[in-house]
């Protein structure tokens, strides 16, 4: 896997800024598997399809729209990535980490990362929404590997408070106001694209993982290294390694996220609206 190419990221950032007129979003969101419809009721100001952004290219996974938007949350602008590029589908880190890099370059204060995941902890059942409290990187790689470039932050970034405690608390407050049940847990990232074996899931449980998925951790690491506040949400779409019954399929994963769409929409909208005003308050 090729290390991050800063020059490619800078070039794509400059081209997008010229096209979008250098907007000033205060928040950003990466909408992963099944989360794309969370912005269906938003005011979208500008849209650029991924296939018109050379570093991103076309999103190849079902359930990922593949478009960048500037949206108005009502209390500020949000840079929205509707669909993500996964490590397992790329030949370089650049498409995976570009959203975090662009968000930072545009002065964004906080990034919300969302995904679909398999529940490992007994109470995490299909349809549940989970706040990511912390992560375990079991991908076997790290996007910051390679020669150090100061444009990506320190050589050894501290991840102790990567998923910012006040944003996690704000997710709880927002969900409670909307009467949306919300769970918390540790998200473990694997490289994919195969789902886990039962033995792997037992091993991950013993390591302290509550849910498992194939994404999010690389973007969160880069965002944290760049100094962004990070919040994370998983939609639990299945019991990990199909311990709930039927064999796993991506179509089933997407179908479960559909049943959670009204909760995803309400929570993401209210949270990013509130986070935008928090960011504005600090200015
Ligand atoms: N494992 C890995 N990734 C996933 C899963 C899973 O069980 N469910 C949704 N994405």
Q: How far is the CA of 217 from the centre of ligand 1 (A)?
A: 14
pLDDT in tens, 178-236: 999 999 999 999 999 999 999 999 999 999 999 999 999 999 999 999 999 999 999 99
Residue 68 structure tokens = 């960048």
Whether the pTM exceeds 0.85: the reply is: yes
User: Is 80 exceeded by the pLDDT of residue 254?
Assistant: yes
The predicted structure's pLDDT at residue 249 = 82
Which of these ranges, 117-126, 163-172, 253-262, has the smallest mean pLDDT? 253-262
Q: How far is the CA of 116 from the centre of ligand 1 (A)?
A: 6
**Distance (Å) of CA 238 to CA 106, 163, 191, 262:** 36, 23, 18, 18
Which of 62, 87, 118 is the pocket-test mutation for ligand 1 (most atoms within 8 Å of CB)?
A: 118
pLDDT in tens, 220-233: 999 999 999 999 99
* Dist. CA 32–CA 140, nearest whole Å: 21
User: Is 90 exceeded by the pLDDT of residue 273?
Assistant: no
The closest of 222, 229, 225 to 94, measured between CA atoms, is 222
The closest of 165, 110, 39, 161 to 276, measured between CA atoms, is 110
The predicted structure's pLDDT at residue 282 = 35
At the fourth CATH level, the homologous superfamily of domain 6-282 is Nucleoside phosphorylase domain (3.40.50.1580)
User: Is 70 exceeded by the pLDDT of residue 244?
Assistant: no
Percent pLDDT > 70 in the chain is: 93
Mean pLDDT of 139-153: 94
Residues with CB under 6 A from ligand 1: 116-118, 195-196, 212-214, 237-238, 240, 248, 253
Which residues are paired to 186 by β-bridges?
A: 134
The DSSP call for residue 232 is E
Are 129 and 116 within 8 A, CB to CB? no
Q: How far is the CA of 98 from the centre of ligand 1 (A)?
A: 23
Q: How far is the CA of 62 from the centre of ligand 1 (A)?
A: 14
């Amino acid at each position: 896997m090729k290390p991050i190419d800063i020059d490619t990221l800078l070039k794509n950032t400059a081209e997008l800024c010229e096209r979008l007129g250098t907007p000033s979003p205060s928040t950003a969101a990466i909408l992963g598997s099944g989360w794309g419809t969370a912005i269906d009721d938003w005011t979208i100001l500008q849209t650029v399809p991924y296939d018109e952004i050379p570093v991103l290219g076309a999103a190849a996974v079902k359930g990922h729209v593949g478009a960048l938007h500037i949206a108005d949350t009502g209390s500020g602008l949000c840079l929205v990535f509707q669909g993500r590029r996964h490590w397992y589908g790329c030949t370089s880190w650049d498409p995976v980490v570009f959203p975090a890099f662009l968000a930072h370059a545009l002065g964004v204060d906080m990034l919300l990362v969302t995904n679909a995941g398999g529940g490992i902890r007994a109470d995490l059942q299909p349809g549940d929404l989970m706040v990511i409290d912390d992560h375990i990187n079991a991908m076997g790689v790290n996007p910051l590997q390679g020669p150090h470039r100061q444009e990506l932050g320190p050589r050894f970034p501290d991840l102790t408070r990567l998923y910012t405690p006040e944003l996690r608390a704000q997710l709880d407050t927002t969900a409670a106001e909307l009467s949306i049940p919300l769970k918390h847990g540790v998200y473990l990232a694997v490289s994919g694209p195969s789902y886990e074996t039962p033995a792997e899931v037992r091993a991950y449980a013993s390591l302290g993982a509550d849910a498992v998925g194939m994404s999010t951790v690389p973007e969160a690491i880069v965002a944290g290294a760049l100094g962004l506040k990070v919040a994370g949400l998983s939609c639990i779409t299945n019991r990990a390694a199909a311990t709930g019954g039927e064999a796993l399929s991506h179509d089933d994963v997407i179908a479960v996220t559909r049943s959670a769409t009204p909760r995803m929409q309400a929570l993401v909208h209210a949270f990013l609206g509130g986070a935008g005003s928090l960011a504005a308050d600090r200015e």
